[in-house]
Amino acid sequence: MNVAQWLLTLASLGLVLLGLVLVAAFMIYGERRILALLQDRLGPNRAGPFGLLQPVADILKLISKENFVPPFADRMVYTIAPVIVPLTVLLSFAVVPVSEDWWLADLNIALLYVLALSSLRVYGLILGGWSSNSKYPLLGGLRSAAQMISYELPMGLALVGVVMLSGSFSLKEIVAAQTLPFIVLQPLGFIIFLVCGIAETNRLPFDLPEAENELAAGYNTEYGGIQFAFFYLGEYLGILLIAALVTLLFLGGWHGPWLPGVVWFALKTLALIFLFFWLRTSLPRLRYDQLMDFGWKVMLPAALLNLLMTAGLGLFWMEN
Amino acid sequence: MADKDRQRALTTQLQTQFNAIPSELPHDRINALSIPAERLTETLAFLKHKAEPRFEMLFDLSAIDETERDGGLTVFYQLLSLSGNADLRLKVSLSAEAPVLPSVCTVWSAANWYERELYDMFGIHIDGHPDLRRILMPEYWEGHPLRKAHPNRATEMPPYQLPEARYRSIMESYRAEDYHEPGMSNEEMILNIGPTHPGTHGLLRLVVRLLGEEIRDVKPDIGFHHRGAEKMAERQTYHSYIPYTDRIDYLAGVQNELPYVLAVEQLAGITVPPRAQVIRVMLCELCRVASHLVWVASYAHDTGALAPPFYAFREREYLYDVMELITGGRMHPSFFRIGGVALDLPEGWHEAVQGFLKRMPAAIDEYQALLPNNPILRGRTRGIGVLSIAEAIDWGVSGPNLRACGLEWDLRKRRPYSGYEHYDFEIPTATEGDALARTEVRLEEMRQSLRIVEQAMQNMPAGPVLSAEARYAFPRKEATLQDIETLIHHFIAVSRGMRFPAGESLFVTEAPKGMNGYFVVSDGSENPYRLRIRTPSFPHIQALALLARGHLLADLIPILGSLDYVLADIDR
C-alpha cells in the first residue's frame, strides 16, 4: 500500500469513529426524549432546537470536569478500565457491514471476533469495580461477572443456528444467505440472542451491575468526568452494536424492498434501539441469582434445543 | 357490659397479684394502673401471655417528666389487645434523679427501640437492655431533650461548642475502615447504606453485614430527620400545633391532624358537627390515596422500574389540585380544627372530587399491571421479607403491613371514629405476609378509599363545619366585627390560646402507614404538658432486620420499600 492508501484508510477510520461516537451521543439524547414521552414528561428541550444540542452540552460538561482518581483506588487499573469498554465495542464495529457495498473489514471469522471482544468488554466493568477499591463498585463488578457467565453461553449457542443455516461466520455472507430473514427460520434463536444482548449491554431489566437503587451507581460509582463518559459511551455503543448484530443476523440486514439497503439497515437497527428504550421504561430489574437461574436453566437448554432442531431439520432437508 | 366486667376483673387481678394501683379513669376511658417498677417485667409478661384478654401488642412506651407538676418521671406503657379489642395503660413512677427501669425487651421485641428512646429523651437507664444507646439524638448530644429542664428553643441554650478534640473523637466513631463487629468472620463485609442513598427514600442509614451479597444483619440508624416535634408541642397552644402534625408523616397530610384533634376533642368533650366529620373522612381518605401513590412511585423505583413513579406522581398532582381547591394547601393542608374543620367546602368541590374519582380506577389498574401483575416484580418480591402474624404483633407492626400477614385489623372497622361505621368498604388482607402481599393490599386499599370518598361526597350533610362550643372552638371571624364578646374571645383564643381541661387522652387512628396515636397530657394550661406521638413507621423500621436477614442485598431495598415508611414519621 502506498501513502495515499494509508491516509485514506486512516481518514475513513477516523470518520467511522467520529460517526459512531456521534450516533451514541444522539442515542442518549433520543433515549432521554423517548423515555420522557413514555413517562408523560418533556425531556431535555432547552439546549438548541428541541434540545438537540443536549449531547454536545453533556460531552462538554464531562470533558471539562476534573479527572479525579480517588486516593484509595488502584491507579493504573482504574484508569485503564473505562477505556476497555468503548474500545472493545468500537473494535467490534470493524466487521459490521452497513450495506452491500459499505463495510470496513469482511473477516471470515467475524462472528467469533465479535463474541471474543464482547467477552473482553466485561473486564472493563469488573476491573473498574475492583480497582475503585470501594464496596458498591466491587459488588457491581462482581455482579457483572456473574451476569457474563450466565448469558455468554446461550448467546454463543444461539448464533450457531445462524451459522449452520448460512454456512459462514462472515456477517456479509450471513446477510447474503438471508433470502428469508432468519427470524422466520430461527425464532427461538432470535429471542435468545436478543435477551442475551440486553444482558450483554447491562440494560434494564438486566442492569444489575449498575442497579442504582441498591448499589448507588454500581461499578462506576467512583468514576466521574471523562472516565465516566467512557463507560457511558461504551454502554450506548453496545446497544448500537447489539441492535446492528440482531439486524444482520436475524432481520435480513439491508435486505428490503424499494428503499436503499443502508436505509433498511438503519430503520431495523433504530427499531431495535427503540425496543431497548421501551424495555427500560417498562420493566423492573431482576435479581442476579434470578438472572443466573434464567440463563442456565431456561436460556441454555432452549439454545441447545434450538441447535438440535436446526441441525436435525437441516439434516432432513439435505437428505431429501 | 361484659367488657366492663372483664376489665374490672383484670384490674382486681392486677391489684391483688402485682400490687397495681388503679387510678381514676382518664378522658380516653382507657383503664390506667400504676405498678411498682420492680414488678414491671412479670406484670407485662402476665398481661401478654396469660391475662384475659391477652394484651399482645406493646403499642407505645414513653414517659412524662412530671417535675413541673411536683413529681418525678412517669413511664407509661400503652398495651393493646387485638383479640379483645381493649387497651390498657400501665404507669411506673420513677424519681427524676438517676431513674432506672427494668428492660422489657424479653417480653416484647418492639420494646428495644422504645426503651432506647426513653434513655435518649429522658435519661432513664434501662437495666438489662441489650443495646442501650441514643437513638434519635446524636451520640454526642448533651442532655435529654424531653426533660423539662432541657431548653425548648436553641435561643435558650448557650452557643454550641465543639472543640477540635471532641470533634475528632466523634468522627473517629464513624470510621468504617477497621470496623468489625464481634462475632463477625473475615469473609463478611460491612456495607454502609445511607444516610443519603437512592434506595432509602430519605435520611436513613443502614449498616448491613454481608456475606457476599447475602444479608447477615441490618442495623438501621435513625434520627437524621428528628425535629423534636414532641418537644415543640410543649410550647405551642393546642391550636397552633396543628400545622406541626402535618409534617410528621408529611405524605399523608390531614391524616396526622385527625388523631391529634380527636385526642384533644376527647379531652375536652367536644362534639364535631356531622358535616365536619364527613369532610374529615373525605379528606383523610384522599390523603390515604396520596400517601399510597407516593408509595407506588417509590416502591416501583426501588425495583428499578422507571415509568410508574411518573404515572403515580401524575395522579397525585390531580389529587393535590382537589386538596388545594378545598383546603388551600397541598401536602400540608393544616385544615382540621379542634371541633371541626377550618372552612366550608368551596364552590365546585363536588365536580373536582368527582373528576378525580373518575380518573383513578384506570390509573390503579395501570399500577396493578406494572407492579404486582408484572412477572419480574412478582418473581422478585414473592417470598421476601416474610412476616408472620405473631411476629408482626410482637414487633408492633400495624396497618397494611399487618393486614398483609392475614390479620384483618383496621381501626376504621374495629373502633370506628369520625363516623366510619356509616361507610360501606372492605378491608383488604393477604395471607403470605411477604413484600408482594403488601403490594397487593395497598393497591386494593386505594380502591376502597376511593369508595369511601365517593360515599362521603354523595352523602355530604348540610350544617356548620365547626363546633359552636365557644370555649374550645374559634369564634366565627365574620362575627368578630359585629359584637365585642366574640372579638374578645377571638383575641384571647388566638393570642394566648385556649385552656383545655387537665387530664390525658390517647387517640389512635388508622393512618395510611398503620396505627397513628397521639397522647395528649394536659395540665389545664394553653399548651400541652406533654404530647406523645406514636407513629407506625417507627416499629416497622425496627423490624427491618428480622425481615431482611438471609436475603440478598438486592432484596433489601424492595423489602424496605414494601414497608412504606417516611423518615419524618420515624424520627418525628
Residue in A41, A139, A283 nearest the CB of B305: A283
Q: Could you tell me if residue B321 is inside a domain?
A: yes
Confidence of residue B516 (pLDDT cuts 50, 70, 90): very high
Beta bridge partners, B101, equal B126
pLDDT tens per residue across span B85-137: 888 888 888 888 888 888 888 888 888 999 999 999 998 988 888 888 888 88
CA–CA separation, B4 and B10 (whole Å):
10
Residue A271: per-residue pLDDT: 92
CA–CA separation, B29 and B88 (whole Å):
10
8 Å CB contact of B303 and A284: yes
Helices and strands in chain B, H and E counts: 21, 15
CA distance to partner chain A, nearest, from residue B307 (Å): 5
8 Å CB contact of B376 and A39: no
Confidence of residue B535 (pLDDT cuts 50, 70, 90): very high
User: What string of DSSP letters covers A54-77?
Assistant: HHHHHHHHHHHS-----TTS-HHH
A249 and A166 share one domain: yes
Q: Determine the average pLDDT of the residues in B401-427.
A: 89
Beta bridge partners, B221, equal B205
Type and span of the H or E element at B76: strand B73-81
Cis before A205? omega within 30? yes
> Chain A to chain B, count of Cβ pairs less than 8 Å apart?
78
Q: Which of A206, A213, A280, A292 to mutate to test the interface with B (most CBs of B within 10 A)?
A: A213
Half-sphere exposure of A233 (CA within 13 A, CB side): 27
Residue A313: per-residue pLDDT: 84
Positive or negative torsion for Cα B290, B537, B200, B433: negative
Q: Which residues of A touch B557 (CB under 8 A)?
A: 213-214
Q: Which residues of B touch A211 (CB under 8 A)?
A: 304, 554
CA–CA separation, B567 and B251 (whole Å):
10
Q: Give Rg (Cα) of chain B.
A: 24
Q: Would you tell me the crossing angle of helices B274-302 and B435-458 to the nearest 10 degrees?
A: 150
CA distance to partner chain A, nearest, from residue B452 (Å): 29
Q: Could you tell me if residue A272 is inside a domain?
A: yes
Q: Could you tell me if residue B399 is inside a domain?
A: yes
User: What string of DSSP letters covers B219-255?
Assistant: EEE--TT---HHHHHTTS-TTTTHHHHHTTSTTSTHH
Q: Residues near B151 by Cβ (< 8 Å), separated by ≥ 6?
A: B157
* Per-residue DSSP letter, B418: T
Question: Under DSSP, is residue B301 helix (H, G, I), strand (E, B) or coil?
Answer: helix
8 Å CB contact of B552 and A283: no
Residue in B189, B192, B553 nearest the CB of A214: B553
Of B118, B149, B180, which closes a domain?
A: B149
Q: Which residue has the cell 394566648?
A: B496
Tell me, what CATH number does B131's domain have? 3.30.460.80
Q: Would you tell me the crossing angle of helices A135-166 and A110-131 to the nearest 10 degrees?
A: 180
Total structural domains within chain B: 2
Tell me, what CATH number does B402's domain have? 1.10.645.10
Q: Which residues of A touch B314 (CB under 8 A)?
A: 40
Beta bridge partners, B73, equal B65, B94
Q: Residues near B396 by Cβ (< 8 Å), separated by ≥ 6?
A: B57, B58, B59, B108, B110, B539, B542, B543
- B 365-384: CB under 8 A from A: 370, 374, 376-377, 379-380
CA–CA separation, B255 and B516 (whole Å):
9
pLDDT tens per residue across span B454-475: 999 888 888 888 887 767 777 7
8 Å CB contact of B191 and A135: yes
Confidence of residue B177 (pLDDT cuts 50, 70, 90): low
Q: Residues near B484 by Cβ (< 8 Å), separated by ≥ 6?
A: none
CB of B208 closer than 8 Å to CB of B556: yes
Of B82, B114, B149, which closes a domain?
A: B149
Half-sphere exposure of B510 (CA within 13 A, CB side): 23
CA distance to partner chain B, nearest, from residue A299 (Å): 16
Distance linking the first and last C-alpha atoms of chain B? 38
Residue A204: per-residue pLDDT: 76
Alpha helices in B64-198 (DSSP H): 111-122, 164-172
Instruction: Using CA coordinates, name the residue in chain B closest to A287.
Output: B554
CB of B334 closer than 8 Å to CB of B257: yes
Mean pLDDT (chain B) is: 86
* Per-residue DSSP letter, B38: G
Instruction: Using CA coordinates, name the residue in chain A closest to B312.
Output: A39
Chain B contact for A289 (CB, 8 A cutoff): yes
Most confident of A67-81, B200-214, B510-524: B510-524
Residue B253's Cα: distance from chain center in Å? 13
Q: Give Rg (Cα) of chain A.
A: 20
B393 and B482 share one domain: yes
Give the Å distances, CA to CA, from A292 to A153, A295, A298, B404.
12, 5, 10, 30
Strands (E), B399-549: 503-511, 514-522, 530-534
Q: Could you tell me if residue A158 is inside a domain?
A: yes
CA–CA separation, A86 and A64 (whole Å):
20
Of A35, A64, A93, which closes a domain?
A: A64
pLDDT tens per residue across span B372-388: 888 888 888 888 888 88
A113 and A134 share one domain: yes
* Per-residue DSSP letter, B149: T
CA–CA separation, B251 and B242 (whole Å):
16
- Smallest CA-to-CA distance from B356 within B425, B418, B429, B293 is with B293
Total structural domains within chain A: 2
8 Å CB contact of B198 and A285: no
Chain B contact for A71 (CB, 8 A cutoff): no
Domain that holds residue B145: 2-149
Q: Determine the average pLDDT of the residues in B9-13.
A: 79
Residue B181: per-residue pLDDT: 63
Q: Which residues of A touch B199 (CB under 8 A)?
A: 213-214
Q: Determine the average pLDDT of the residues in B204-212.
A: 85
A45 and A76 share one domain: no
Domain that holds residue A98: 67-315
A105 and A126 share one domain: yes
CA–CA separation, B167 and B538 (whole Å):
29
pLDDT tens per residue across span B518-530: 999 998 888 899 9
Q: Could you tell me if residue A221 is inside a domain?
A: yes
Chain B contact for A278 (CB, 8 A cutoff): no
Chain B contact for A85 (CB, 8 A cutoff): no
A118 and A145 share one domain: yes
B127 and B252 share one domain: no
For chain A, 320 residues long, the average pLDDT of each consecutive 10-residue run is: 83 86 88 88 86 87 86 87 89 84 78 88 87 85 84 88 85 82 84 89 79 77 86 89 90 81 87 90 84 88 90 81
Question: Under DSSP, is residue B203 helix (H, G, I), strand (E, B) or coil?
Answer: coil
Q: Could you tell me if residue B217 is inside a domain?
A: no
Instruction: Look at phi and psi of residue B98 and say left if phi exceeds 0, alpha if psi is from -120 to 50, else beta.
Output: left
Q: Determine the average pLDDT of the residues in B4-32.
A: 77
- Smallest CA-to-CA distance from B242 within B534, B520, B460 is with B520
Q: Could you tell me if residue A320 is inside a domain?
A: no
Q: Determine the average pLDDT of the residues in B431-440.
A: 88
CB of B547 closer than 8 Å to CB of B559: yes
CA–CA separation, A194 and A242 (whole Å):
8
- B176 pLDDT exceeds 70? no
CA–CA separation, B72 and B198 (whole Å):
44
B412 and B503 share one domain: yes
CB of B519 closer than 8 Å to CB of B532: yes
Of B149, B179, B214, which closes a domain?
A: B149
CA–CA separation, A176 and B93 (whole Å):
91
Q: Which residues of A touch B304 (CB under 8 A)?
A: 204-205, 207, 211-213, 283-285
- B1 pLDDT exceeds 50? no
Residue in A38, A204, A289 nearest the CB of B304: A204
B269 and B411 share one domain: yes
CA angle B295/B298/B302 to nearest 5° reads 130
8 Å CB contact of A38 and B191: no
Give the Å distances, CA to CA, from A101 to A254, A309, B353.
10, 34, 64
Confidence of residue B319 (pLDDT cuts 50, 70, 90): very high
Question: Under DSSP, is residue B416 helix (H, G, I), strand (E, B) or coil?
Answer: coil
Q: Could you tell me if residue A122 is inside a domain?
A: yes
Q: Could you tell me if residue B219 is inside a domain?
A: no
B264 and B381 share one domain: yes
The amino acid that residue A216 corresponds to is A
Q: Could you tell me if residue B183 is inside a domain?
A: no
Q: Could you tell me if residue B393 is inside a domain?
A: yes
